[in-house]
Amino acid sequence: MSITGIEAPAVEVRGLVRDFAVKGGPPRRALDDFDLAVAPGEVHGLLGPNGAGKTTLCKILSTVLLPTAGTARVQGLDVVADAKRVRPLLGIVFGGERGLYARMTAAQNLRFWAALYGHGRREGRRRAAELLERVGLGPRADEAVETFSRGMKQRLHLARGLVGDPRVLLLDEPTVGMDPVSAHEFRDLVEDLRAEGRAVLLTTHDMAEAEALCDRVSFIDGGRLLRCEDPRVLGELLSRHERVRASGVPEALAARLAALPGVERVRATGPGAVLVETDRGGAALPVLRTLVEAGVTDVSTAPPSLEEVYLHLIGDRGMAVRP
């Protein structure tokens, strides 16, 4: 809390720029005049294609990378000038293999990090046990991390991110490598973190995950903020532009599908294989019905791709997508 009683934003980014030197060429602008605000207790999604600048942003916020220009603050503290005071406020989960001690057990890893955060031995043990339970690793607490699967390591990363009791969590693709059940449990965990008043900045490629979890979603591409939206907008786009895939579809049937209301286009994806794109909520249903009634059995539905959702989001504002 500040002196005025108004809590500072958990994360506040203004005009952030980050250039990387590129051998024999002009610098690469990974972040370009980027703005972002995350309120305390908010779960904020950061959605964007590969190379959009998401990890670069997370690294600047976590004080391991310096911005080229602009400012970034965590609970009112500047990540460059006040880096030392910022670090204890943060829980960071970058995932992958790095940062885990493979030969140590899960519990030993957590106790080690608890000690780094200044917890005493007893408190460290208590926190380690509690967090391992929380991420579903209780039964494997005393096994070496090198025996863990990818998803289990990812869970341990999550526990590690929570060990310092952070007010702000930076989660960079936290569910990569998790099975659907683990990903579901992860959602419950994020709900708990929100209920505890922690802010979460969550990077993901998974639009359904973003829609289910986030209070707001920022779309980033080419280092720029494209739009910041209520996730319901995302949900609407996902259902409005649902796709139907089918194979064993004769040409005449494909033509009939194309004429159905709400069908945007029918693309041939192989001999007799089609991808039907819709642009109206519920339009996939008559497509499915028509296919099934015509005796087609190989039919499935899928949400639109991230690229498509982008096109629709940006198209709405008449902006051009970067190549």
Ligand X SMILES: Nc1ncnc2c1ncn2[C@@H]1O[C@H](COP(=O)(O)OP(=O)(O)OP(=O)(O)O)[C@@H](O)[C@H]1O
By the criterion CB under 6 A, which residues form the site for ligand X?
Answer: 20, 28, 30, 48, 50-56
Minimum distance, C-beta of residue 52 to ligand X, in the bound complex (Å): 4
C-beta of 49 vs 272, nearer to ligand X: 49
Partner touching 27 among ligand X, Mg ion, none, CB below 5 to 8 Å by kind = none
Q: How far apart are CA 126 and CA 145, in angstroms?
A: 19
Q: In which order are the strands placed within the sheet that holds 243-246?
A: 263-270, 273-278, 243-246, 299-302
Partner touching 52 among ligand X, Mg ion, none, CB below 5 to 8 Å by kind = ligand X
DSSP string, 69-111: EEEEEETTEETTTTHHHHGGGEEEE--SSTT--TTSBHHHHHH
C-beta of 55 vs 71, nearer to ligand X: 55
Partner touching 20 among ligand X, Mg ion, none, CB below 5 to 8 Å by kind = ligand X
* 3-state secondary structure at position 296: coil
C-beta of 54 vs 155, nearer to Mg ion: 54
Minimum distance, C-beta of residue 203 to ligand X, in the bound complex (Å): 7
Partner touching 68 among Mg ion, ligand X, none, CB below 5 to 8 Å by kind = none
Burial call 106-137: b when 16+ CB within 10 Å, e when fewer? bbbbbbebbeebebeeeebeebbeebbebbbb
For β-strands 28-38 and 69-74, DSSP reports them as unpaired
Minimum distance, C-beta of residue 55 to Mg ion, in the bound complex (Å): 3
Minimum distance, C-beta of residue 23 to ligand X, in the bound complex (Å): 9
Is the torsion defined by CA of 151, 156, 159, 164 positive or negative?
A: negative
- Give residues in contact with Mg ion (CB under 5 A): 54-55
C-beta of 113 vs 310, nearer to ligand X: 310
Q: How far apart are CA 301 and CA 30, in angstroms?
A: 35
Partner touching 174 among Mg ion, ligand X, none, CB below 5 to 8 Å by kind = none
C-beta of 54 vs 216, nearer to Mg ion: 54
Partner touching 48 among Mg ion, ligand X, none, CB below 5 to 8 Å by kind = ligand X
The CA-atom distances, in angstroms, between 25 and each of 18, 20, 29, 52 are 16, 11, 12, 19
C-beta of 9 vs 53, nearer to ligand X: 53
Minimum distance, C-beta of residue 227 to ligand X, in the bound complex (Å): 16
Minimum distance, C-beta of residue 258 to ligand X, in the bound complex (Å): 34
Nearest CA to 137 out of 92, 191, 145 is that of 145
